[in-house]
Amino acid sequence: MNAHRHHPPPARGAAFTTALVITLAYAAVEFAGGVWTGSLALLSDAGHMLSDALALGLAAIAAWLARRPAGHRHSYGWARAEVIGATLNSLLMLVIIVALVVEAVARLLDPRPVAALGMTVIALVGMAVNALVLWIMSRGELTLNARAALLHVIGDLVSSFAALVAGTVIYFTGWLPIDPILSLVIAGLILVSTIRLLRDTLHVLMEGVPPALELQIIGKALAGVAGVVSVHDLHVWSITPGQVALSAHLEIHELQRWPAILAAATALVHDRYGIGHVTLQPEAHRPRGARGTSVIRLWRGRSGRGPGTS
């Protein structure tokens, strides 16, 4: 029996589109400025902004797909399109980080002169543009898809700041290694955030238990519902973050009491754990040795003989 409804996530398409246009426009400016000044920080930032444009495009498409309703072929709808989009954007960010590190190391080994004043001015404008895009993107619900797009934008904002600092240092001291050194520092910082986001998206795609929930605690709570002998084949996973699903088999002595047990168990997991997609299957009580091999853990209720595992 099933007690869930599907709610499409709120639209973020307008924010993605606006940010995309702004990002593309300034990427062209930074690329020209990087060629003129010879700054790795500006060139890498321009390339990063072009990747941001791709990231925002992916995010916009994913957000559009996520709003499509459930159908016969996709019974949960297209909500996971945003998770897939976030995963692709995270992988894209890893590629960018590797390219940036390779170029920074090459610049450390072979420093090249840069036009420090022009680099500083363009980086300052870049910070303002990235801050505007960040403000546009940060409004509304932060889905994994939005987080992935924001990660690109934040990376650009920090890179622009690094270019500003590098340009200032080079202008006053002439010390060229500051440019690739700051690029390496920024790459390291972005790498940490990227790995965390990729871990979160893969956890959803692998249908892992949401971090805020504990399978054992939920199993014990369900086993405590009046009339339940034991709980097994319990699964809890995220369709998308914020849309959690649960399925379980409940062994009961009296099948005629199932409607009341179902209502109590569904209310329990919804009210206590915020799980809105609930599928529970009743089973007549069987001897312990008759259970299938798919049982991960068995929770015994007050109607059983005590705790046990299979």
Instruction: Give the pLDDT confidence score for residue 203 in this predicted structure.
Output: 94
Helix (H/G/I), strand (E/B), else coil: 133:
helix
The order of strands in the sheet holding 277-284 is: 2-3, 277-284, 243-252, 228-240, 299-300
Alpha carbons 157 and 234: distance in angstroms, whole number:
44
The CATH architecture annotation of domain 215-300 reads 2-Layer Sandwich (3.30)
Count the helices and strands in the chain (H runs, E runs). Answer: 8, 5
Over 70: is that where the pLDDT of 41 sits? no
Q: What is the mean pLDDT of residues 50-69?
A: 80
Q: What is the mean pLDDT of residues 220-233?
A: 92
8/132: higher pLDDT: 132
Residue spans in the chain of domains classed CATH 3.30.70.1350:
215-300
The CATH architecture annotation of domain 2-205 reads Up-down Bundle (1.20)
41/230: higher pLDDT: 230
Instruction: Give the pLDDT confidence score for residue 289 in this predicted structure.
Output: 53
Residue spans in the chain of domains classed CATH 1.20.1510.10:
2-205
β pairing state of 277-284 and 243-252: parallel
